Structure 1
Amino acid sequence: MNKLKELIRTAFCAGITLTLAGCLTSTPQWDAHFGETVQQITTAQVLNPNAANNTDPVSGIDGNAATLNMFRYDKSFTQPLGITSPYGVGLGSTSLTPSQP
């Protein structure tokens, strides 16, 4: 009797699964729009598509400050980070070694 209930339950689940499978939409509808979201996001990230044609000098930062910032940026990848305290997670700067400017 228990085997019969299991067989009926399995047949019922298979029937429901096959019935619901007929309601699925096909992939050609999805394939027709494949990649549109990536294209839209990429386009939205481009502030000025003609920026390469602009020959005006950049204003807002002098050369010495820009060079120093680039040096510090490169240096941040070559020097290991200071040892941090495990008790200071999320509490701001908790480095045990003094930071260098």
Structure 2
Amino acid sequence: MFIKSTTLALALLLGTGCSHVTPNYDARFGDAVRDARKKMTLNPDAGKDGNPIAGMDGRSASESMKQYHESYKAPPPALNVINIGGQIGGTAK
């Protein structure tokens, strides 16, 4: 009986000790996500504007995307960046 009442008292004590923190977190829940979304959105009405975006034309953008996708199919060879006492990209003669 003593163990049950002690366990119950500890559970109630821990529960009341943590209960004052939750409303503070609940009031601001999701603020970080909303703030990050606002910071990532440069122009929320961009879809309504018919003007083209300054930058790449369609053909250049298409080719760069093709090269990007191809880079995952056949990645470029790895280079020896830390070159201690050797030659870069070749064998000794």
TM-score range for the pair, normalised by the shorter chain length: 0.5 to 0.7
Does residue 44 of the first structure (1) align with residue 33 of the second (2)?
Answer: no
Query: 1:73 maps to which residue?
Result: 68
Q: Deviations over 1:49-82 (max 9, x none)?
A: 1111112223332333222211111111211331
Question: How large is the Cα RMSD of the aligned pairs?
Answer: 3.0
Displacement after TM superposition at 1:86 (Å): 6.0
Structure 2: any 5+ residue segments left out of the alignment?
1-12
Partner of 1:87, secondary structure, is coil
Q: Judging changes above 3 Å, is the alpha-carbon distance between structure 1 residues 29 and 62 closer, same or farther for their aligned structure 2 residues?
A: closer
Amino acid at match of 2:64: N
User: In structure 1, what is the Cα distance between the partners aligned to 2:65 and 2:21?
Assistant: 52
Query: 1:8 maps to which residue?
Result: none
Does residue 61 of the first structure (1) align with residue 56 of the second (2)?
Answer: yes
Higher relative contact order (CA 8 A, sep 6+): 1
What is the TM-score normalised by the length of structure 2? Answer: 0.56
Give the ranges of 4+ consecutive aligned residues of structure 1 lying more than 3 Å apart after TM superposition: none
User: In structure 1, what is the Cα distance between the partners aligned to 2:57 and 2:28?
Assistant: 46
Identity %: 32
Structure 1: any 5+ residue segments left out of the alignment?
1-17, 89-93, 97-101
